[in-house]
């Protein structure tokens, strides 16, 4: 697994500590299955984005930590679902056997359900009322048919099918982009940001998320499983940005999306350099 820029290491430690704290007590299979994926080594890009956006909006990073953990819980839930036999049937995730191979399919599904549920419970429990409600709405919108679930549904239908570039973009804006946008928005909301900076950060996150997904596609072709923690070429039956544009073309698109992302940061000046570091990392990562 590739490392994020060192400046984010403190964020990652906080998020990991919060996730450990949030895991349900008890050592039944569903509790262990939830922790297995939620606490597996991960870059936690989405959670880092929450905290970086909170800090950029002059918020208290500590206050944003539960929201960052909630976004990461949603992401972990979606990874468990993605890997299921009925979906991508992937054997390897985060360098370990996929959740369903370790705990069985039924328990994996319950764990995914439990992680999504825990995300909403965390938001409701950690924030005072008006903020808790807004965060839950933003998260629910990102997960629903216009976001993650919708993207995954179109993705499933596209297996062994020819799809257009636009359809592919729609899949990834749903599967990946929506939760990136929710992460940036939630981070800014915990800082009490106004509508304008929230919109700028959402624009940044939307393009960053799509770039991140394109590089994921590239790594499925080029990556070293020992580094990516996933088997190579799992997505061979799907159309990807690489199958449309080739390896060099896809990397070029990712770089351009990161430039577009960075342009949305202009109003923040040099204070947004951490987010520029993040997009530079996404554009360049080879693992």
- Residue 267 as a binder of a second copy (CB under 8 A): the answer is no
Give yes or no for a contact between 245 and 254, defined as CB atoms under 8 angstroms apart: no
Tokens 């430690």 locate to: 13
- Residue 140 as a binder of a second copy (CB under 8 A): the answer is yes
Interface residue with a second copy, options 146, 236, 247, 284 (CB under 8 A): 146
**Shortest distance, CB of residue 175 to a second copy, whole angstroms?**
11
Q: How many CB atoms lie within 10 A of CB 149?
A: 17
- Residue 107 as a binder of a second copy (CB under 8 A): the answer is yes
Q: Which two tokens stand for residue 36?
A: 């297995």
Residues in the chain: 287
Interface residue with a second copy, options 9, 10, 24, 263 (CB under 8 A): 24
At 264 the three-state DSSP class reads: coil
Q: Which two tokens stand for residue 65?
A: 């930590």
From the list 83-91, 194-202, 235-243, 246-254, the region that binds a second copy by CB under 8 A is 83-91
Instruction: Evaluate the CA torsion angle 206, 39, 53, 255 in order and state its sign.
Output: negative
- Residue 59 as a binder of a second copy (CB under 8 A): the answer is no
Q: How many CB atoms lie within 10 A of CB 43?
A: 17
- Residue 86 as a binder of a second copy (CB under 8 A): the answer is yes
- Residue 102 as a binder of a second copy (CB under 8 A): the answer is no
Interface residue with a second copy, options 19, 53, 123, 202 (CB under 8 A): 123
- Residue 280 as a binder of a second copy (CB under 8 A): the answer is no
- Which alpha helices (H) appear in 23-104, and where do they start and end? 29-38, 45-56, 61-83, 99-103
Q: How many CB atoms lie within 10 A of CB 276?
A: 16
State the residues that interact with a second copy by CB under 8 A: 24, 26, 28-31, 34, 77, 81, 84, 86-87, 104-107, 109-110, 112-114, 116-118, 120-121, 123-125, 127-130, 132-134, 136-137, 139-141, 143-146, 149-150, 152-154, 156-157
């Amino acid at each position: 697994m590739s490392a994020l820029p060192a400046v984010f290491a403190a964020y990652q430690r906080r998020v990991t500590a919060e996730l450990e704290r949030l895991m349900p007590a008890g050592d039944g299979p569903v509790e262990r299955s939830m922790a297995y994926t939620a606490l597996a080594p991960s870059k936690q890009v989405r959670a880092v984005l929450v905290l970086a956006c909170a800090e950029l909006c002059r918020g208290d990073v500590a206050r944003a930590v539960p929201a960052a953990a909630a976004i990461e819980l949603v992401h972990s839930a979606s990874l468990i679902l993605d890997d299921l036999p009925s979906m991508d049937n992937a054997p390897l995730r985060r360098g370990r056997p996929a959740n369903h191979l370790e705990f069985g399919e039924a328990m994996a599904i319950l764990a995914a359900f439990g992680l999504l549920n825990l995300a909403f419970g965390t938001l409701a429990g950690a924030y005072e009322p008006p903020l808790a409600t807004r965060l839950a709405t933003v998260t629910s919108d990102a997960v629903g048919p216009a976001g993650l679930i919708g993207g995954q549904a179109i993705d499933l239908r596209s297996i062994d099918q020819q799809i257009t570039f636009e359809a592919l973009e729609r899949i990834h804006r749903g599967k990946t982009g929506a939760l990136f946008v929710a992460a940036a928005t939630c981070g800014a909301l915990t800082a009490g940001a106004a509508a304008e900076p929230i919109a700028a950060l959402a624009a940044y996150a939307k393009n960053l998320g799509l770039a991140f997904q394109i590089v994921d596609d590239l790594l499925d072709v080029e990556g070293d499983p020992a580094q990516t923690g996933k088997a190579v070429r799992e997505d061979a039956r799907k159309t990807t940005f690489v199958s449309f544009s080739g390896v060099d073309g896809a990397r070029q698109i990712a770089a351009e999306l990161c430039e577009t992302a960075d342009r949305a940061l202009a109003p923040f000046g040099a204070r947004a350099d951490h987010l520029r570091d993040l997009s530079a990392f996404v554009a360049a990562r080879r693992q």
